[in-house]
Amino acid sequence: MPLNDFVTLGHSGLRVSPFCLGGMTFGEEWGIGSSVETSQQIIDRFLDRDGNFIDTSNVYTRGHSEKIIGDHIGRHPARRDRVVIATKFFANLYQGDPNDGGASRKAITAACEHSLRRLQTDYIDLYWLHCWDRFTPVEETMRTLDDLVTAGKVRYLGFSDTPAWKVAEAHVTACLRGWTRLIALQIEYSLLERTVEGELIPMARELGLGVTPFAPLKAGLLSGKYTRANAAQAQPRRGASLAKALNEQALCVIDVLIDVAGQLGATVPQIAHAWLRSRPGVSSVIMGATTVPQLDENLKALDVQLSSEHLAALDKVSRPTLNWPADALANIGMFGYGGTRINSETFPVNPRAPQNDDERY
């Protein structure tokens, strides 16, 4: 699959590349990112490969990520119009000001103006709610976002880091009021984080939201640097929390990744990215890179063809324990559809149900 094998994002006509370039590491303010020059080189390489989707946030590297994108793309109209730029609001950039962060009308309006200034553009292609604001009514958030679309400052809307029930409430509220609907959902999703398959992924598929997963390598745990052999000495860059996540379950997943990668002549991160691209509901995977060679290596995931046996092995070793009633619903088919075949799915006979007309009261 080439990077210009574009997909429509959710229930919309917006065409995006199957991998999205993540801008969280544009800038060195957080101590883990790339210089301005390297960030620009990464952007150029991604665009030269025909990628067209870049994701950032008003808070990434304290706003510098947006400015790097704006200096390199936003100020050049011909180049700007060829790129789908997504950014986020919610984060408070003025500590101590209760109205700077969140999803109120005041906060969203100000955040949008600041992002437009840093991005040096007249419009944002996709504007994300970064996190659910439990202090603001969802009607206020959705009406304000609709006003920004009407004003031409924003083209499309999405939610990130928000419970499924609140996303559904926001989406349905917009539908009922005739406001601009959501088209996308951004969530953490990887072979080491699959609990989103309980509520968020099914909700997104039902509502027509394109899923753009972030952290496909679980903050580096699936980068290939960590193996069962070196786990005891491993020091993940985010410290204790990720060191704790490098547990027996994670090592079992890494074992299978290494095996599949060896069979296909690929790398562990390439297999992890390819697996995520194959998941139902996923539109475009957000891919991070701090160097051009790292970007090139990760983009080779486009050439990886996972067989049904590979997918089954990865699915089995990484299968999560989901909240009730996910497992119950997955095995409930015979009670409602026993002995039938619907949409190419066959359901076994329910032994507790009447087996013929004579047994029915």
Tokens at residue 136, please?
A: 């603001």
What is the spatial distance between Cα 161 and Cα 47, in angstroms, rounded to a whole number? 27
- How far is 152 from 146, CA to CA, in rounded Å? 10
Is residue 195 within 8 A of residue 279, CB to CB? The reply is no
Task: Pick the catalytic residue from 60, 156, 189, 226.
Answer: 60
Distances (CA, A) of 323 to 112, 196, 320: 36, 10, 10
CA 248 – CA 160 distance, rounded (Å): 29
Instruction: Collapse the DSSP code of 239 into the 3-class scheme (helix H, G, I; strand E, B; otherwise coil) and give the result.
Output: coil
Q: What is the DSSP string of 11-32?
A: SSS-EE-SEEEE-TTBSSTTSS
Counting beta carbons within 10 angstroms of the beta carbon of residue 237, is it exposed (0 to 12), middle (13 to 18) or buried (19 or more)?
exposed
The 3-class secondary structure across 75-95, one letter per residue, is CCHHHHCCCEEEEEECCCCCC
DSSP 183-222: EEEE-B-BTTB-GGGTTHHHHHHHHTPEE--B-TTTTTTT
For residue 63, give both structure tokens.
């706003």
Q: Are β-strands 53-55 and 84-89 bridged in parallel, bridged antiparallel, or unpaired?
A: parallel
Establish whether 123 is a catalytic residue.
no
Note whether 19 and 287 are within 8 A (CB): yes
Those residues with Cβ within 8 angstroms of residue 261's Cβ, 6 or more apart along the chain or in another chain: 224, 267, 268, 270, 271
Active site residues: 60
